[in-house]
Amino acid sequence: MTEIRIEGKVAGRVVGGATPTDVVPLLEGEQEVFLVYDAHLAPAASALLEAFPAIRSALALETSEEEKNMDSVLLIARSLLEAGASRKALLLAIGGGITTDVAGFAASVYKRGIRYANIPTTLLAQVDAGIGGKTGVNFEDYKNMLGVIVQPVFTFVCSSLLATLPRREFLSGASELLKTFLIEDRDGRYGRTVSLLSSGSPDFGSDIWQETVFEAASVKAGIVSRDPYEHGERRKLNLGHTFAHAIEHEARLRGDDITHGEAVSMGILLSARLSDRLGLSKGMEGRLRQDFLQAGLPVESPYPPEVLAGAMEKDKKAEGGFVHFVLLEDIGRVVVRDLSVAMALKALTDN
Ligand SMILES: NC(=O)c1ccc[n+]([C@@H]2O[C@H](COP(=O)([O-])OP(=O)(O)OC[C@H]3O[C@@H](n4cnc5c(N)ncnc54)[C@H](O)[C@@H]3O)[C@@H](O)[C@H]2O)c1
C-alpha cells in the first residue's frame, strides 16, 4: 500500500491485490457504493457485484474519446440521482483511463463532490491515469479541456485484469511503464522491466507483473504527493509527451492511426536525442532505441522534427513561448528545461 499525502494529510491510497475481488475489504463499512464500469469489463463488474452485493447500482459506459464528454458525466449524475446517492456515496470506477477520468469528474461535481475510487483495467491507467486525481472530459475538440484535480480515495491495482487487454492497448501502456522507471529507476527496475517486456507473452497474473505494475503506480503516487497540482516535479511525468502530443496532432490531421502510447514511445526517443544533443547525456538515444525495440515499442516518429515544431508551439503546457522539455541525464534522472521550440528544433536538426 502506498499513501498519497497532500499537505501532510492522507488524500488517497494505492493498494495492490492479486485478484479483482481482493478490493472487497476496501469497501467494507461503506454504506453507499455505486459502480460505473467500461462495458468491455462486464465480467469483472459482475464478479464484484457478486462478491459485494451491497453495491447499490451499476452503470455500463461506452468508452471512446468521442464519448469522453459532458453527456457521459450527465449520464453518471442522472444514474446516481435515480439510485438515491447521497453525499456519503462512493463512486467506484472499473475501466481504463477514459472511465476513470469521466467517473472521477462526475463524482467531483455530483452534489458538490462525492468520493470516488478507481479499479483501473488498462496498463496505462494502472500506472498513470488511475492515479493522481486528474479527472475530466474532452470539450470542443480539445482533450481534457474540462476537469478538476481531486484524488480518488483509493486506486486498486491488480495486474491480472490486464489479461483481456488487446495487445496494442497493452503496448500503449508499456511505454508509460518504461517512462515511469526512466524517471525513477528504483534499483534497476527500468532494466528489469525492459527484460520483462521482451520475454514473450506476459503472464499478468504472476507476482512479477503485479510487483512491477504496483511499483510503477507507487512511483507516480510519490510524485503526486510531492507536487499534486503540477507546479514542479509532476512535470517530469510528461517525459516524451511534448513530442507525443505533436505526433498525435499531426496524425489526426493526416488521418494516421497512432495510439497515445505509441506516440509517447516515439516522443521519449526524441527527448533522448535532444538530451544527447544538448550535452545532458551521452548515447541515451542509442540505448533507449535498443531497449524500446526489444520491448516491442515503436521508436521512429513518422514526422520529422520540423513538422512537429508547429504543434509543439501550441502545446497547452507552453508558457511565454517556452516549453517545459523533460530531458534525460541518465536512467532514473530526468530534468525539466525551458526551451523555445526553435532552440529545440535547432539542436535536433543540427548535424
Ligand atoms: N488522469 C490522468 O492523469 C491521465 C493520464 C493519462 C491518460 N489519461 C487519459 O486516459 C485515457 C486513455 O486511457 P486508456 O488507454 O486506459 O484508454 P481507454 O479507457 O479507452 O481503454 C482502452 C480500450 O481498452 C478497453 N479496455 C480497458 N480495459 C480492458 C481490459 N482489461 N480488457 C479488455 N479491454 C479493455 C476499453 O474499453 C477501450 O476500448 C485518455 O482519455 C487520456 O486522456 C488520463
Give the tens place of pLDDT for each residue, 81-127: 999 999 999 999 999 999 999 999 999 999 999 999 999 999 999 99
Task: List the alpha helices (DSSP H) in 93-206.
Answer: 97-109, 123-124, 167-183, 189-198
List the residue whose alpha carbon is closest to atom 9 of ligand 1: 97
- Cα–Cα distance between 232 and 209 in angstroms, integer? 30
Q: Does residue 238 have an active-site annotation?
A: yes
Catalytic residue, candidates 68, 179, 235, 260: 260
**Cα 294 to chain centroid, rounded:** 22
Condensed to tens digits (0 to 9), the pLDDT of residues 30-51 reads: 999 999 999 999 999 999 999 9
Residue with cell 453527456: 71
List per-residue pLDDT tens for the chain, 351 residues long: 999 999 889 999 999 999 999 999 999 999 999 999 999 999 999 999 999 999 999 999 999 999 999 999 999 999 999 999 999 999 999 999 999 999 999 999 999 999 999 999 999 999 999 999 999 999 997 889 999 999 999 999 999 999 999 999 999 999 999 999 999 999 999 999 999 999 988 999 999 999 999 999 999 999 999 999 999 999 999 999 999 999 999 999 999 999 999 999 999 999 999 999 999 999 999 999 999 999 999 999 999 999 999 888 876 566 677 899 999 999 999 999 999 999 999 999 987
3-state helix, strand, coil in the chain (%, to 5): 50, 20, 30
Pairing, β 57-61 against β 333-340: unpaired
Identify the pLDDT of residue 165: 96
Identify the pLDDT of residue 318: 63
List the residue whose alpha carbon is closest to atom 27 of ligand 1: 96
Q: What pTM, to 2 d.p., does this model score?
A: 0.96
In percent, the amount of the chain with pLDDT more than 90 equals: 92
DSSP lists the bridge partners of residue 94 as 37, 119
List the residue whose alpha carbon is closest to atom 4 of ligand 1: 129
Q: Is 116 strand, coil or helix?
A: strand
- Cα–Cα distance between 133 and 129 in angstroms, integer? 8
Identify the pLDDT of residue 287: 98
Question: Which H or E element spans position 285?
Answer: helix 284-294
Among 14, 40, 116, 128, residue to substitute to test ligand 1 (most atoms within 8 Å of Cβ): 40
Name all domains of the chain by residue range, CATH numbers in brackets: 2-226 (3.40.50.1970), 239-349 (1.20.1090.10)
Identify the pLDDT of residue 317: 61
The torsion defined by the Cα of 48, 52, 57 and 60, in degrees rounded to 10, comes to: 0
- Cα–Cα distance between 342 and 310 in angstroms, integer? 10
Q: Is 310 strand, coil or helix?
A: helix
Burial label for 201, CB within 10 Å (0-12, 13-18, 19+), is exposed
Pairing, β 57-61 against β 142-146: unpaired
